[in-house]
Amino acid sequence: MSKMLLEAKELHTYYGASHILHGIDFHIRQGEGIALMGRNGMGKTTLIKSLLGIVRPRHGRVMVCGDDFTKAPTYRIAQRGIAYVPEGRGIFPNLSVRENLQMAARAGVDGQREWTFERVMATFPRLGERINNGGWQLSGGEQQMLTIGRALMTNPDLLILDEATEGLAPLIALEIWRIVKEIRKTGIATMIVDKNHSAVTSICDRAMILVKGEVVFDGDSETVRDNPELIQKYLGV
């Protein structure tokens, strides 16, 4: 059985008095792909931030590669091979494309350097055309490519994408999905949040659906794709 990369038990997370996550259990193994799904405001981003230590759960445990990281700072979790592409992208607008990528470059947990600057350039040729442009000069799609490329420069074992294609033109979104499929083929585990149910379930092995901070479905992506009633009930507008 493949190695457990990230696991959570009985997560309860609050924002002030508001109880957002209600006893969430979560796990993802090496090489696995998970589609994290749910309507807006159901706790998807809060779950990601709770797993990464950006928001502290009030109850529960977070394990990274079998070690308890519940109270660890976010940078320590990142150092264990977890890369995060947040909603809003978070690039450095005052740095060039080259600088955004090079500042993140490091070996992975096991010393692997499969994702080099040259490989990122080959994967994202559009970034090569903008290599000396500032982050603020890029389109939304180019910024998303840059953020994914920067995450890959850390040679992660797990890549987390929050709202992978939100606000992007359809053709650019298709390009992002093509790139994510290529990343999946390299064996990097992925956790993806996106409103395109068809695209995200076609890429990921498993799907988890949240409703008001609780897991209502955790199973094969194929089950979601083949069950329009499930989609309408929990994901329909």
- Interval 130-152: pLDDT, tens: 999 999 999 999 999 999 999 99
In this prediction, the residues of the chain whose per-residue pLDDT falls under 70 are 237
Residue 52 CA to residue 196 CA, distance in Å, equals: 24
pTM of the model: 0.94
Task: Give the pLDDT score at 202.
Answer: 94
Q: Which stretches does DSSP call E strand in the chain? A: 4-15, 18-29, 33-37, 59-64, 67-68, 82-85, 158-162, 189-193, 206-211, 214-220
Task: Give the pLDDT score at 120.
Answer: 95
Residue 208 CA to residue 224 CA, distance in Å, equals: 10
Task: Give the pLDDT score at 159.
Answer: 97
Task: Give the pLDDT score at 206.
Answer: 96
Task: Give the pLDDT score at 237.
Answer: 64
Task: Give the pLDDT score at 88.
Answer: 81
Residues 6 or more apart whose Cβ sits within 8 Å of residue 123: 149, 152, 179, 182
C-beta neighbour count of 159 within 10 angstroms: 23
Task: Give the pLDDT score at 236.
Answer: 80
